[in-house]
Amino acid sequence: MQESLPVKRLNRLSWLLSVIIGVIFYLIISRSGSAEPVFPYTLLTMSGILVVGYADVGLMLLLLPWFQLRSKKFTIYRRLLTYPASVFIYLALWPVFAYVAHKKWSFGDVGLFFAFVGSGIVINTMIMILHDSVLLYEHKLYSELELSRLKAANAEATNLLLKQQIQPHFLFNALNTLKALYHKDVQTADTYIVHMANFLRASIFHHTSNVAKLEDEVSLLLDYLEMQRIRFGAALNCTITLPEETLKEYYLPSFSLQPLLENAIKHNNFTREDPLCVTISQQDDWLVISNNRQVKNIKVASTNYGLANLAERYHIWSGDDIIIKEEQNSFSVSIKFLKNEHRNY
């Protein structure tokens, strides 16, 4: 977005300056005991300031199609044009001042000539200083807005990249499982495909969403959970105890729960006799995912698709951190619920 000229604000500032100087001029002349027509002189003085102010704005508008607002060429040409214009304006006002005062005038009057030229230069300098202060303030606001947009775009790109890491990783594991199932039980493999299709359909639908409603996240997790139950049977036990109002009220970063369940499956040994027990519950404003620890003897290589991925995405969209508790026999991750105001992120 190109930086624009705050025309209305600049013109209001010209009016303010003309009123202030007009009042000061009126008070000085009226108390000096001069026989000059004070009120007409005051109006002419205010008019001169306004015309110079509008001329500065008009010249800037003429220069904008050719030069950037903050460029050196714009500044140089503005200076070169506005000072002659302001001098011309005050020299044009000289006959009007003389007419109001019923006096003869001539450009041959060197004293008055330089007085009006000097007035044009002084007034234009004051106008330019005030206008420059407005332009500087507007530029500061514009820079801050652009910075915030860049940060938001960077956060969006980072978040999208992190989410895109999840899909290939999930597909790799799912297709390997599906291949093995078709060699053993075709009907079970067909059921597996149904849940996989549901999971992929939901993930594509929420692909551009940074934040998802909790009930949608749980629905996505259930399809993934059914796929894992087909794979592991009674060796995997997952219990979800979340109130209905919590599901409808709160939000989480998209694809939050599935990577955590995948993380628990990946790093633990479990059998029918010693199952992996995962619980998803609510503690105040926090979602807690916990499981019993039965750590594999062989260290599993981590690609940061699960826990680290979620931690980074959660920090991007909330500014907070997740809480990880690792004890001898248990492991838990706590995520503070996102409120309703995050829904449009």
Question: Where a domain ends, among 96, 126, 147?
Answer: 147
Say if residue 276's pLDDT is above 90: yes
Examine the pLDDT at 204 and tell me if it is beyond 80: no
Write the CATH number for 258. Answer: 3.30.565.10
The residues, any chain, with a CB within 8 Å of residue 143's CB and separated by 6 or more, are none
pLDDT in tens, 80-115: 999 999 999 988 888 887 877 777 767 777 888 888
Q: Is residue 154 part of a domain?
A: no
Same domain? For 324 and 190 the reply is yes
Between residues 155 and 145, the one the model is more confident about: 145
Does residue 209 lie within any of the structural domains?
Answer: yes
Could you tell me if 129 and 194 lie in one domain? no
Instruction: Indicate whether 14 belongs to any domain.
Output: yes
Average pLDDT over residues 218-222: 88
Q: Are residues 230 and 137 in the same domain?
A: no
29 falls within a domain: yes
In a domain? residue 152: no
CA distance 145 to 198: 40
190 and 338, same domain (yes or no): yes
The pLDDT of 144-157, averaged and rounded, is 68
- 30 pLDDT above the threshold of 60: yes
Last residue of a domain, one of 98, 128, 147: 147
pLDDT cut 70: percent of the chain above it: 84
Q: Are 185 and 178 within 8 A, CB to CB?
A: no
Q: For the residues 211-216, what does the mean pLDDT come to?
A: 88
**DSSP structure string for 9-60:** HHHHHHHHHHHHHHHHHHHHHHHTT--S-HHHHHHHHHHHHHHHHHHHHHHH
Identify which has the larger pLDDT, 46 or 255. Answer: 46
Mean pLDDT of 31-42: 74
Q: Are residues 197 and 330 in the same domain?
A: yes
pLDDT in the model for residue 302: 54
- Domain extent at residue 97: 7-147
How does pLDDT run across 183-197, given as a tens digit for each residue?
888 888 888 888 888
Q: Are residues 137 and 216 in the same domain?
A: no
Q: Is the pTM of this model over 0.75?
A: no
CB neighbour list of residue 118: distance below 8 Å, 6 or more residues apart: none
Contact between 330 and 291 under an 8 Å Cβ cutoff? The reply is yes
239 has a pLDDT exceeding 90? yes
Residues 192 and 118 reside in one and the same domain: no
Output the pLDDT for position 304.
Answer: 47
The pLDDT value recorded for residue 303 is 47
Q: Are residues 228 and 318 in the same domain?
A: yes
Q: Is 70 a residue whose pLDDT tops 90?
A: no
pLDDT of residue 294: 87
Domain closes at, from 125, 147, 169:
147
Q: What is the mean pLDDT of residues 280-309?
A: 78
Q: Is residue 153 in some structural domain?
A: no
Please report whether residue 89 resides in a domain: yes
Residues 116 and 191 in one domain: no
Q: What is the mean pLDDT of residues 59-85?
A: 88
Kindly report the number of other CB atoms within 10 A of residue 314's CB atom: 19
249 and 306 both lie in a single domain = yes
Query: Within 13 A of 70's CA, how many CA atoms are on the CB side?
Result: 12
Is 338's pLDDT higher than 60?
yes
Both 116 and 64 in one domain: the answer is: yes
Q: What is the pLDDT of residue 156?
A: 59
Which whole number is the average pLDDT over 219-228? 87
Number of domains in the chain: 2
**Residue 171: inside a domain:** no
Whether residue 157 is predicted with pLDDT greater than 60 in this model: the reply is no
pLDDT at 152 over 70: no
| Residue 207 shares a structural domain with residue 330 | yes
